[in-house]
Amino acid sequence: MKMKKYLPPIILLAVFETVAIVLWLMKNNIFYLFNFSYIGLSIALGLFLYIRKYKYARRIVQLLVGLYMLIYLGLICGENMQLEGFWYYLFTGVFEAATIHYAVAKIFGPLIFGRGWCGYACWTAMVLDFLPYKTPSGPRKKLGWMRYVMFAISLAFVAALFLAHVGNIEKIMFVAFIAGNVLYYASGIVLAFVMKDNRAFCKYLCPITVFLKPMSYFALIRVKCDKSKCVNCGKCRKVCPMDVGVTDNSRKRKNGTECILCLECKKNCPKDAL
Ligand code: SF4
Ligand code: SF4
Ligand code: SF4
């Protein structure tokens, strides 16, 4: 019976292994077996540590997956996993690297695990979460429109490279990966300090949320509130880094598509209602 609580990490690992094996055989490339096994093992380990009530479980997953993607896939293998890389592979018609990554983590995956990517794997947030403003100090600003501008700029940039038949696009994409990351980190850190909110970049500027938000609206895995236990103390809303109205169980709850499944609300609920 005691082992039953470890079923979620085992199921999750099985799902990732299935994806790993299917892609390995489909693409005849052993890299996919290694890649998805590593990510599945990292997330399963985090879940295991969370069940064991280890305080830094989420941060460990974030570092294991985030550093792997940024340093190994991005810098060593030269794969542009940013939005520009997704457009690039999409325009070349190749279902590889960034297109697979986006399909699994950011487009279809969120139908199951919502914005789990943002809480456990994103290498931008991996750094932002080290900053001192873990919970927002003021109300959310109406600046969400900026993400659409960023999204349009990213698409226009890659489309322009293709339309102008620029040579050596692979090299340009690698430089764009470095420049894009420097820009994300710099703007993310500045925004966090100006707005006193570590996740300000995620809330207002990140263009990937254009995919993540609508898909996570339908997420299977969501934090829900047991109304019979809740005493409306408001602690969950106070500790939430994304301003989610988590006590409302409807899909239309306030900032519902912003939940990154960090479980800070659950950890802090005095009545175990979440
Ligand atoms: S919103 Fe963007 S920057 Fe923030 S965690 Fe998600 S993908 Fe990363
Ligand atoms: S912290 Fe728990 S008890 Fe308090 S409002 Fe949230 S769900 Fe209800
Ligand atoms: S604190 Fe709760 S509601 Fe807020 S983002 Fe984390 S899991 Fe979601």
What is the whole-number distance in angstroms between the Cα of residue 267 and the centre of ligand 2? 10
Instruction: Read off the pLDDT of residues 16-36 as tens digits, 9 standing for 90 and up.
Output: 899 899 989 998 889 989 999
Q: Do residues 145 and 239 share a domain?
A: no
Whether 232 is covered by a domain: the verdict is: yes
C-alpha count within 13 angstroms, C-beta hemisphere, residue 248: 13
Q: What is the mean pLDDT of residues 125-151?
A: 94
- Name residue, tokens 């966090």: 192
Q: Which of 194, 216, 238 is the last residue of a domain?
A: 216
Q: Compute φ and ψ for 51, nearest 5 degrees.
A: -60, -35
Average pLDDT, the chain: 92
Q: Count other C-beta atoms under 10 Å from residue 1's C-beta.
A: 4
Whether 140 is covered by a domain: the verdict is: yes
Q: Which of 216, 237, 263 is the last residue of a domain?
A: 216
Q: Do residues 167 and 259 share a domain?
A: no
Whether 88 is covered by a domain: the verdict is: yes
Q: Do residues 208 and 229 share a domain?
A: no
C-alpha count within 13 angstroms, C-beta hemisphere, residue 48: 12
Asked whether residue 266 carries a pLDDT value surpassing 80, the answer given is: yes
Q: Do residues 190 and 245 share a domain?
A: no
Whether 6 is covered by a domain: the verdict is: no
pLDDT of 201: 97
Q: Do residues 84 and 210 share a domain?
A: yes
What is the whole-number distance in angstroms between the Cα of residue 86 and the centre of ligand 2? 40
Nearest CA to ligand 3 atom 5: 259
Q: Do residues 91 and 185 share a domain?
A: yes
CA distances from 228 to 231, 246, 247, 270, 273 (A): 8, 15, 11, 13, 8
Asked whether residue 1 carries a pLDDT value surpassing 70, the answer given is: no
Q: Do residues 240 and 124 share a domain?
A: no
* Host domain of residue 101: 80-216
Q: Which two tokens stand for residue 48?
A: 């295991």
Nearest CA to ligand 2 atom 3: 230
Q: Do residues 125 and 212 share a domain?
A: yes
Whether 128 is covered by a domain: the verdict is: yes
pLDDT of 168: 86
CA distance 192 to 124: 12
Which of the four pLDDT bands, split at 50, 70 and 90, describes residue 165?
confident
Q: Do residues 142 and 247 share a domain?
A: no
> Which residues form ligand 1's pocket by a CB distance below 6 Å?
118, 122, 124-125, 201-202, 206, 208-209
Q: Count other C-beta atoms under 10 Å from residue 220's C-beta.
A: 9
Residue 269 near ligand 2, beta carbon < 6 Å: yes
The ligand that comes nearest to the alpha carbon of residue 204 is 1
Residue 125 near ligand 3, beta carbon < 6 Å: no
What is the whole-number distance in angstroms between the Cα of residue 235 and the centre of ligand 2? 6
Whether 50 is covered by a domain: the verdict is: no
Whether 22 is covered by a domain: the verdict is: no
Which of the four pLDDT bands, split at 50, 70 and 90, describes residue 245?
very high
Question: What share of the chain has pLDDT > 70, as a percent?
Answer: 99
Instruction: Read off the pLDDT of residues 85-135 as tens digits, 9 standing for 90 and up.
Output: 899 988 888 777 788 888 888 999 899 989 999 999 999 999 999 999 999
Domain tally, the chain? 2
From the alpha carbon of 118, which atom of ligand 1 is closest? 5
pLDDT of 3: 77
Q: Which two tokens stand for residue 80?
A: 């542009």
Q: Which two tokens stand for residue 250?
A: 């409807």
pLDDT of 246: 96
pLDDT of 6: 86
Most confident listed range (10-14, 156-160, 167-171) = 156-160
CA distance 158 to 169: 9
Specify the CATH number for the domain of residue 257.
3.30.70.20
* Residue 271 Ramachandran class (φ > 0 left, ψ -120 to 50 alpha, else beta): alpha
Q: Do residues 142 and 269 share a domain?
A: no
Q: What is the mean pLDDT of residues 53-66?
A: 94
